[in-house]
Amino acid sequence: MTAILSDRFLDRLARARSVVAFTGAGISAESGVPTFRGNQGIWTKFKPEELANLDAFLSNPSLVWEWYSARRKVMGEVQPNAGHLALARLEQSFPSVTVVTQNIDNLHRRAGSKHVLELHGNIDRNYCMGCGARYVGDEILFKEGIPQCSGCGGLVRPDVVWFGEMLPLDQWDESVKAIESADVVLSIGTSGVVFPAAELPLYGKRHGAYTVEINPEETELSETMDEVVRGKSAQVLPELVKELESRGVGKQTQKISRK
Ligand code: BV8
Ligand code: ZN
């Protein structure tokens, strides 16, 4: 079934110079990465807010670490899907494309997207809460299941933003700047329940962007979007790229870049 991409949407895109894709867990669902609020096996008995927070980690570091190891394993075994790849392809059709993601799974970069802003961190990075030393996956020592810094013995944690924690200021500021100067904002695969990230599509709209939600289901953001495309991102985004190519969108960009 082909998704309905309205002429209004395609015209706004055809005239756009800057596009921002704001993405959530749903864009990785078709790669096999479970979403937060879907069913995800053994972890369904916990709400993400119960595990993705500092108190949970301090009171039970091995449980929280186990949750991240299980997710890191899945994320390491899966591939970017056609939705990630189509977003990367969009970079050739517009002078500026920015991916602002809430995801920590690295799949946008692995798909080839060049300008990716990670609002909630990245599962491949870890750091010591004592001395700040950085660690990647298997360098970490474990003492009775507790990840310890080999330098100072401090607790090593994933470099992700937990509930109650500030977002990385540089990523946030750059995301706000990009979305406030966007001509089109695509909100893809997010339920729009986690703040302050979920405010971003509204910022874009307030600054004149045409906002489009790509999601098989209704979300907290649907009402405020200019348009919703009810479909899966791995199907809708490749169709969008094909439609733009058939309209010759982006050829002029390539000409500019060729000079
Ligand atoms: C903070 C990293 C304060 C870790 C995550 C108002 C303003 C500010 C804060 C708050 C506020 N109200 C409440 C808060 C507190 C809190 C919050 O938002 N709580 C919620 C639950 C109400 N926010 C915070 O704590 C934030 N920090 O506010 O700090 C502060 C201020 C000053 C000084 C100090 C502190 C930090 C929030 C970050 C939490 N970390 N992740 C990790 O990943 O383990 S959040 C987590 O949820 C992920 O990042 C995830 O991406 C994100 C949002 O979820 P979604 O991505 O939308 O995923 P979800 O499963 O919900 O939905 C999937 C969607 O995909 C669905 O709609 C589905 O239909 C769709 N879908 C499925 N398949 C497909 C699809 N779509 C397309 N195609 C498909 N095939
Ligand atoms: Zn240390």
The model's pLDDT over 76-97, given as tens digits with 9 standing for 90+, comes to 999 999 999 999 999 999 999 9
Alpha carbon nearest to ligand 1 atom 53, residue: 194
Mean pLDDT of 187-193: 96
Centroid of ligand 2 to alpha carbon of 67 (angstroms):
22
Q: How does pLDDT run across 145-158, given as a tens digit for each residue?
A: 889 999 999 999 99
Q: What is the pLDDT of residue 40?
A: 53
CA gap 16, 55 in Å, rounded? 44
Give the Cα separation of 32 and 51 in Å (integer).
Answer: 21
- Domain formed by 1-33+80-120+167-259, architecture: 3-Layer(aba) Sandwich (3.40)
Rounded distance between C-alpha atoms, residue 127 and residue 136, angstroms:
8
Give the pLDDT band (50/70/90) at residue 223. very high
H-helix segments, 15-151: 26-29, 48-51, 54-59, 61-77, 82-90, 107-111
List all residues whose CB is within 6 A of at least one atom of ligand 1: 24-27, 29-30, 35-38, 48-49, 52, 102-104, 120, 160-166, 189-191, 193-196, 215-217, 219, 232-234
For residues 196-221, average pLDDT: 97
CA-to-CA distance for 52 and 134, rounded, in angstroms? Answer: 20
**Whole-Å CA distances, 240 to 2, 101, 249:** 10, 19, 11
Q: Which fold has domain 34-77+123-160?
A: SIR2/SIRT2 'Small Domain' (3.30.1600)
User: Looking at 130-134, 138-142, 167-171, 248-252, which range is the least confident one?
Assistant: 248-252
What is the C-alpha separation between 32 and 26, in angstroms, rounded? 10
Domain ranges across the chain: 1-33+80-120+167-259, 34-77+123-160
Mean pLDDT, range 207-213, rounded to an integer? 98
Q: What is the chain's mean pLDDT, rounded?
A: 91
pLDDT at 42 exceeding the cut of 70: no
The Å distance, Cα 148 to ligand 2 centre, comes to 8
